[in-house]
Chains A and B, each alone.
Chain A
Amino acid sequence: MSARETPRAGRPRARARVWTVTRRGWQAVGGTLAALLVAVYTLNPFLLLFAVAAFGFVAGSIADFLWRARDLRPERFDVQRQPGFRRVPCQTDSVSRVEATWNGRFGFWAEVVDIVPDVFTIRSGSPRLLTWWAPQRTLVVAYAYRAEVRGAHLLGPTFVTAHDPLGFCARSVLLPTAIPLTVLPESVTLRPRPMGIALFSGVPGSLPLRRPGTGSEFRSLRPYRTSDDIRHVAWKRSTPTQLMVREFDLENRQDLLVLLDLNPVMHAGPWGGNAVDHAVNASTVVAALIARQAEDRIGLLSYTGGVFQYIPPSRGPRHLKYLLDNFALVAAHEGPFDLGDALKETARRLRTHTHVLLFSSLSEPSPELRRQLASFHSRGHRLYAFVPDISELYPPLRSELGRGALDWAGAEEHARTVRAVDELRREGVPVFPYDRRGAREQMLRVYGRIRGLQVVR
């Protein structure tokens, strides 16, 4: 693949100039020019000869490099990044490989560097290669990496920097090898332990939400519709003009919705370990379990200052992939989180009785909470709240400096969290606080209760 020349959308082409001679090179030029002046002062023929030779050496070295590097352009390279994974789970090893062939006429000292995001740990190999690059030679830069933080990242581009052996000149060429990489939450790769095996059972748990369907327990009678199974017609209750059918409870298929608070407060915590990261990790555990079990459905609603994104509950590999990609890209947005309004908007969108798994810092007051919660429950939904104790998200400071300030802020935040949790519990909502150990265990406990399973530790 050759580098292509397409205009960069929305960004004017840079016309600025880049110096090929390095600071070290200019120092050498300046130094030898000064040496010439000193020699001219002495008028000593030998010193003058030495100074002229030294200046000639520096100028000659620079001129030699400029001549060799005159066709050093992106178009002169054939470059290809091995098409590998575009979706990588967090904390999982993967490899990257870039192949480039130099089609110029002269060889040069090359430093090839593939730019790796800061949150990637190099596990083996190196994204950097310092070598002599002869014409028509193909260089391969390969390395294993581990993504430490979920999100959208860019792997690449690759820089080829040609320089002379003295470091007087260097010219960097950018090769178009950048690819977007979605780093999925790490929970995708976790083994669900014995729970996953038990999930193939259709036995309802202690907290199922009932809704009409093809279950075993009688629910009610209703008029016949053309799509109904003829075997469910209640002949004794039917009349010649109105057929009636028996309706059953569908208790072994549950709908779940993750309600995510994207308020910036939820992004408190270390990079890769903030409240949203823990929420996403816990949610993806359940999503992965549901994918294996193929019975329940799961969706996502994120809220900040209004509904930000809504993915209705569904099942199937395609839906799970879509959901995981969206979980990977969840990020903070400015705006308040009003729990009452979030519940109202959620209830408005849900068609069936749903377990709503709320992840929120509860940092904003919600004046209409009691009324909205009552309305939410009356529609047959059930709310479970997972609240981060932000004071416990940060690891303890190693140094004494600032520890007192952090302890004070942590105590204030902890008191606020306790008040918010107590208030929600008084409304009858089960609340599960979580800290930097994550919300996975709490989430599994809730889902286990829904599905009638015991979490095996």
Chain B
Amino acid sequence: MTTLSPARVLLVAPVFLYVALVTFLPLNGFDWASVVAAALTSLPVLGPLAGRRAGILTVPAFLLFLDVALDAVISNGFPTGVAASVAGGLLLGTPLWFLGVVTLSEREPGISLLAAQIGLAQSTALLAARATLPTGPMGHTPVGFAQAYVGALTGQLDALAQLIRGIAPTSFPLQTVVDPVFLVLAASALLGIVLLELRSLSAERTIREASERVEKPWRPEGRHAPLALPDQFEAVLKGRSAPEVPGRAYLGGLAGVGVATLVAIGFEAFAAEAPAFALVAVAIGAAVTLGLLIVLSAVRRDRLEPAHPSAQVL
């Protein structure tokens, strides 16, 4: 069974559960296809019970998406019939799908952060769709919800296309979603993903690569056996250092949190001052930061290894 940190689940789960709930509650007229599709899509939530093969639980959602997309291409428009119901169920299950992926990718913070961010974007789209449910008998069904969702996405794309062409769009459907509960829960989820990563890790991979460079392979797991050593040996062993944690002066990974706060405040201030250039500033900032990281993180190997690895006490 995959190890799962309860604190992480407590911080990350509420936002996705909240979105799943607020999109599900106004709907009625469920048919078997939408229920099954929603259940299959939500399967990754059960990942911790599936152990090492948890990744396979994400596959049904992809297959359902493929089915819906294929139907849309064939019918050259919005899917009809069972495929439309499947599309509705698929959308309703996506918050729980992202919750499953975020909890399962605990060991990979990059994937975890990306999944959380895409999950939040998807949640925004779902909330936008919920706000624009069509009226009429089919309006509050999964099919109607799926139509509203597609409408929100295409509206967003049209607005972006207009923006690129230099035309001021009337509205951005996803931009206007402001749900205070959702925002608070989303912030807590992101903080949970980031802060719970702060712990001591083993740099086993780096050590193995470095040891292979000097042709002395490192065996990570030593075989231990009980023994009775002479007193002199015991004295030598007793003097060995024990693992320690840093003192109060060290803030651990909180430096990153500080930088994140400063960057966020700076971005907000800049966006308030010059909203037209905010995205350009983000793009330039990201590109420059990426370039600096690439340049600064490369170190010449001979600065890390002495000319001769042997000790002087020969």
Which residues of A approach B to under 8 Å, CB–CB? 1, 3-8, 13-24, 26-36, 38-64, 66, 72-74, 80-83, 93-95, 97, 107, 109, 111, 113, 115-116, 118, 121-132, 134, 138-144, 146, 154, 156-157, 159, 161, 163-180
Query: A29: which B residues are within 8 A, CB to CB?
Result: 110, 290, 293
Query: A48: which B residues are within 8 A, CB to CB?
Result: 267, 278, 282
Query: A74: which B residues are within 8 A, CB to CB?
Result: 304-306
Q: Which of B65-73, B81-89, B193-201 contacts A (4 or more CB under 8 A)?
A: B193-201
Query: A44: which B residues are within 8 A, CB to CB?
Result: 121, 124, 174-175, 177
Other-chain contact of B305, A30, A113, A174 (Cβ < 8 Å): A174
What is the chain A residue whose CB lies nearest that of B107? Answer: A24
- Interface hits, B245-285 → A, CB 8 Å: 245-247, 250, 252-253, 255-264, 267-268, 271, 278-279, 282
Q: Given A82-B236, A144-B229, A174-B214, are A31 and B110 also a contact pair (CB < 8 Å)? A: yes
Sorted nearest first, the 3 A-B pairs with minimum C-beta distance are A60-B259, A27-B110, A56-B263
Q: How far is the CA of A164 from the CA of B255 in the complex (A)?
A: 11
Q: Given A57-B194, A66-B296, A124-B229, are A1 and B312 also a contact pair (CB < 8 Å)? A: yes
Pairs A–B under 8 Å by Cβ, sample size 8: A1-B313, A29-B290, A31-B114, A115-B211, A134-B244, A141-B241, A159-B218, A172-B206
* Contact indicator A50/B306 (Cβ below 8 Å): no
Query: A174: which B residues are within 8 A, CB to CB?
Result: 210, 214, 304-306, 309
Known: A28-B113, A64-B259, A166-B198. 8 other contacts (CB 8 A): A21-B293, A27-B109, A38-B117, A43-B156, A47-B121, A80-B311, A125-B240, A132-B244
Q: How far is the CA of A42 from the CA of B259 in the complex (A)?
A: 24
Query: B227: which A residues are within 8 A, CB to CB?
Result: 93, 123-124, 144, 146
* Contact indicator B304/A165 (Cβ below 8 Å): no
Query: B282: which A residues are within 8 A, CB to CB?
Result: 36, 40, 48, 52
Query: A39: which B residues are within 8 A, CB to CB?
Result: 117, 121
* Contact indicator B308/A62 (Cβ below 8 Å): no
Query: B121: which A residues are within 8 A, CB to CB?
Result: 38-39, 41-42, 44, 47
Query: B18: which A residues are within 8 A, CB to CB?
Result: none
What is the chain B residue whose CB lies nearest that of A110? Answer: B203
Q: How far is the CA of A144 from the CA of B231 in the complex (A)?
A: 12
* Contact indicator A165/B309 (Cβ below 8 Å): no
Query: B271: which A residues are within 8 A, CB to CB?
Result: 45
* Contact indicator A56/B307 (Cβ below 8 Å): no
What is the chain A residue whose CB lies nearest that of B271? Answer: A45
Q: How far is the CA of A74 from the CA of B203 in the complex (A)?
A: 18
Q: How far is the CA of A141 from the CA of B243 in the complex (A)?
A: 11
* Contact indicator A107/B250 (Cβ below 8 Å): yes
Shortest CB-to-CB span from A386 to chain B, Å, is 32
Q: Given A55-B286, A116-B219, are A50 and B190 also a contact pair (CB < 8 Å)? A: yes
Query: A38: which B residues are within 8 A, CB to CB?
Result: 117-118, 121
What is the chain B residue whose CB lies nearest that of A38? Answer: B121
Other-chain contact of B311, A113, A127, A171, A176 (Cβ < 8 Å): A176
* Contact indicator B207/A176 (Cβ below 8 Å): no
Q: Is B222 an interface residue (CB 8 A)?
A: yes
Q: How far is the CA of A97 from the CA of B234 in the complex (A)?
A: 12
* Contact indicator A18/B304 (Cβ below 8 Å): yes
Query: B165: which A residues are within 8 A, CB to CB?
Result: none
* Contact indicator A144/B219 (Cβ below 8 Å): no
Q: Given A40-B282, A129-B243, A144-B233, are A24 and B202 also a contact pair (CB < 8 Å)? A: no
- The 0/1 profile, CB within 8 Å of A marked 1, for residues 180-202 of chain B is 00010011001000100111111
* Contact indicator A61/B110 (Cβ below 8 Å): no
- The 0/1 profile, CB within 8 Å of A marked 1, for residues 152-164 of chain B is 0000100110000
Q: Is B74 an interface residue (CB 8 A)?
A: no
* Contact indicator B186/A46 (Cβ below 8 Å): yes
* Contact indicator A172/B286 (Cβ below 8 Å): no
Shortest CB-to-CB span from A148 to chain B, Å, is 10
* Contact indicator B309/A172 (Cβ below 8 Å): no
Other-chain contact of A179, B190, B240, B258, B310 (Cβ < 8 Å): B310
Q: Kindly name the residue among A42, A66, A122, A173 whose own CB sees the greatest number of chain B CB atoms within 10 A.
A: A42
* Contact indicator A24/B177 (Cβ below 8 Å): no
Q: Given A27-B108, A121-B223, A122-B222, are A15 and B306 also a contact pair (CB < 8 Å)? A: no
Q: Given A32-B110, A60-B255, are A172 and B304 also a contact pair (CB < 8 Å)? A: yes
What is the chain B residue whose CB lies nearest that of A36? Answer: B286
Query: B174: which A residues are within 8 A, CB to CB?
Result: 41-44
Q: How far is the CA of A167 from the CA of B201 in the complex (A)?
A: 6
Q: Is B120 an interface residue (CB 8 A)?
A: yes
Q: How far is the CA of A48 from the CA of B172 in the complex (A)?
A: 14
Shortest CB-to-CB span from B115 to chain A, Å, is 8
Q: Is B52 an interface residue (CB 8 A)?
A: no
Q: How far is the CA of A208 from the CA of B307 in the complex (A)?
A: 56
* Contact indicator B225/A159 (Cβ below 8 Å): no
Q: Given A8-B308, A115-B218, A121-B222, are A165 and B201 also a contact pair (CB < 8 Å)? A: yes
Q: How far is the CA of A73 from the CA of B257 in the complex (A)?
A: 28
Q: Given A60-B256, A177-B311, are A170 and B304 also a contact pair (CB < 8 Å)? A: no
Q: Given A1-B312, A13-B307, A143-B237, are A50 and B258 also a contact pair (CB < 8 Å)? A: no
* Contact indicator A166/B197 (Cβ below 8 Å): yes
Query: A93: which B residues are within 8 A, CB to CB?
Result: 227, 229, 233
- The 0/1 profile, CB within 8 Å of A marked 1, for residues 84-115 of chain B is 00000000000000000000000011111110
Shortest CB-to-CB span from A29 to chain B, Å, is 7
Q: How far is the CA of A134 from the CA of B82 in the complex (A)?
A: 64
* Contact indicator B237/A23 (Cβ below 8 Å): no
Shortest CB-to-CB span from A48 to chain B, Å, is 7
Q: How far is the CA of A54 from the CA of B121 in the complex (A)?
A: 14
Q: How far is the CA of A47 from the CA of B118 in the complex (A)?
A: 10
Other-chain contact of B297, A21, A83, A141, A144 (Cβ < 8 Å): A21
Query: A175: which B residues are within 8 A, CB to CB?
Result: 306
Q: How far is the CA of A333 from the CA of B307 in the complex (A)?
A: 31
Q: How far is the CA of A176 from the CA of B313 in the complex (A)?
A: 10
